[in-house]
């Protein structure tokens, strides 16, 4: 980081921004992977669970959670690394927008991962139903008329009776619980992903939530302070931006791949990933001499 005391602004080094570029590319590729992932095959986990409430397909809900996550990350990607950038273009980065978009992506993807992480169909069903009911409850709260509220209440009651869950209490986890449970699962499945401890994850989530809500403490703790010749400047810490972006990217990436596997497309997944990479690679600006197509990964 190179700081200009006259303007109070800093220029970032490539080593500081390279992780942001990697998250941007990952988000675009995973968005294309999700688009190319077909509907669940007969007998797959998601096809079985989707049959529980056909009008509210579990596959559609999980896909929607991941679509939302990727919309947030791709918005970041389009800002930090546009597909076509003028050579003289500059971008200004702030802590709060990056944290807010990353937190939204993390919370969205965590819901899909939370649903899809159990191995037993019954556990996946209960998790999926609990989030459907929570969504309906929020919709009912936002309804503007008594008739609409009554209709939504009846929809919930009817669904519980039809599922034989009228006497059960399906507890909806908080967003923090969803995030910590999802990251714990990803950490257990991908120990080399460097997810960080549960304490690290909670701190990142709370800081990002604080930034989204205008709290002061994230902007005072997650800063770089520079003082020289009477000048004192505080700037967002690029490492703090990187940490939450990478966490959101890892959970979202895992969620997309888990979704494809639980949809019965495990054998096609490598081909889908390759096709997605080629599609994205074909849309980005390239430096002179860059290959026309991305290198193909070795067969395994």
**162 phi/psi in degrees, rounded to 5:** -65, -35
The pLDDT of residue 300: 39
- Tell me the range of 89-93, 122-126, 259-263 where mean pLDDT is highest: 259-263
pLDDT in tens, 248-283: 999 999 999 999 999 999 999 999 999 999 999 888
Q: How many CB atoms lie within 10 A of CB 36?
A: 16
- Computed over every residue of the chain, the mean pLDDT equals 88
CB atoms near residue 237 (< 10 Å):
17
**C-alpha dihedral sign at 17, 68, 35, 195:** positive
For the record, the structure tokens of 34 come out as 């999700």
Locus of tokens 């294309």 = 32
Q: How confident is the model at residue 168 (pLDDT cuts 50, 70, 90)?
A: low
Of 4-13, 46-55, 106-115, give the range with the top mean pLDDT: 106-115
- For residue 267, give the DSSP letter: G
**Which has more pLDDT, 194 or 256?**
256
pLDDT (0 to 100) of residue 160? 83
- At residue 221, the pLDDT reads 86
Helix (H) / strand (E) element for 3: namely: strand 2-4
Task: Give the per-residue pLDDT at 165.
Answer: 78
Q: Which range has the top average pLDDT, 173-177, 225-229, 291-295?
A: 173-177
Distances 147 to 156, 160, 296 between C-alpha atoms, Å: 14, 20, 57
CA 178, chain centre distance (Å): 12
pLDDT, tens digit (0-9, with 9 covering 90-100), for 132-142: 999 999 999 99
The CA distance from 109 to 182, in Å, is 9
Q: What gap in Å lies between CA 246 and CA 258, rounded to an integer?
A: 18
pLDDT band at residue 151 under the 50/70/90 scheme: very high
At a CB cut-off of 8 Å and minimum separation 6, what does 116 contact?
A: 45, 46, 62, 124, 255, 258, 259, 262
Question: What pLDDT was estimated at residue 285?
Answer: 74
- Structure confidence at residue 49 (pLDDT): 93
Which pLDDT band holds residue 89 (cuts at 50, 70, 90)?
A: low
What is the band of 5 on the pLDDT scale with cuts at 50, 70, 90?
low
pLDDT of residue 292: 72
Classify 158 as helix, strand or coil. helix
Residues with Cβ within 8 Å of residue 182, at least 6 apart in sequence: 109, 110, 111, 113, 114, 117, 251, 255
114's tokens: 């939370």
Distances (CA, A) of 269 to 117, 263, 273, 300: 18, 11, 6, 13
Average pLDDT over residues 191-219: 93
Kindly report the pTM of this predicted structure. Answer: 0.90
Nearest CA among 286, 242, 259 for reference residue 50: 259
């Amino acid at each position: 980081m190179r700081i200009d005391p006259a303007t109070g602004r800093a220029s970032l080094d490539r080593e500081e921004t390279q992780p942001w570029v990697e998250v941007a590319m990952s988000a675009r590729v995973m968005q294309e992977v999700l688009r190319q992932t077909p509907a669940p095959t007969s007998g797959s986990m998601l096809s079985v669970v989707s049959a529980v409430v056909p009008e509210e397909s579990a596959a559609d809900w999980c896909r929607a959670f991941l679509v939302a996550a990727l919309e947030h990350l791709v918005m970041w990607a389009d800002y930090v690394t546009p597909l076509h950038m003028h050579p003289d273009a500059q971008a200004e980065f702030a802590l709060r927008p990056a944290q807010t978009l990353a937190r939204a992506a993390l919370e969205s993807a965590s819901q899909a991962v939370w649903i899809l992480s159990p191995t037993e169909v019954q556990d996946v069903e209960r998790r999926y139903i609990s989030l459907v009911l929570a969504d309906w409850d929020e919709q009912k709260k936002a309804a503007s008329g008594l008739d609409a509220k009554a209709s939504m209440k009846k929809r919930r009651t009817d669904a519980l009776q039809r599922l034989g869950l009228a006497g059960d209490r399906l507890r909806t986890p908080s967003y923090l619980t969803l995030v910590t449970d999802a990251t714990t699962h990803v950490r257990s499945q991908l120990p080399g992903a460097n997810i960080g401890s549960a304490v690290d994850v909670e701190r990142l989530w709370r800081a990002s939530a604080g930034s989204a809500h205008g709290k002061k403490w994230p902007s005072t703790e997650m800063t770089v302070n520079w003082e020289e010749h009477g000048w004192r400047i505080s700037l967002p810490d690029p490492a703090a931006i990187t940490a939450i972006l990478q966490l959101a990217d890892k959970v979202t990436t895992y969620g997309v791949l888990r979704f494809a596997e639980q949809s019965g497309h495990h054998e096609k997944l490598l081909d889908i990933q390759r096709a997605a990479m080629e599609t994205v690679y074909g849309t980005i600006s390239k430096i002179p001499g860059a290959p026309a197509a991305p290198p193909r990964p070795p067969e395994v």
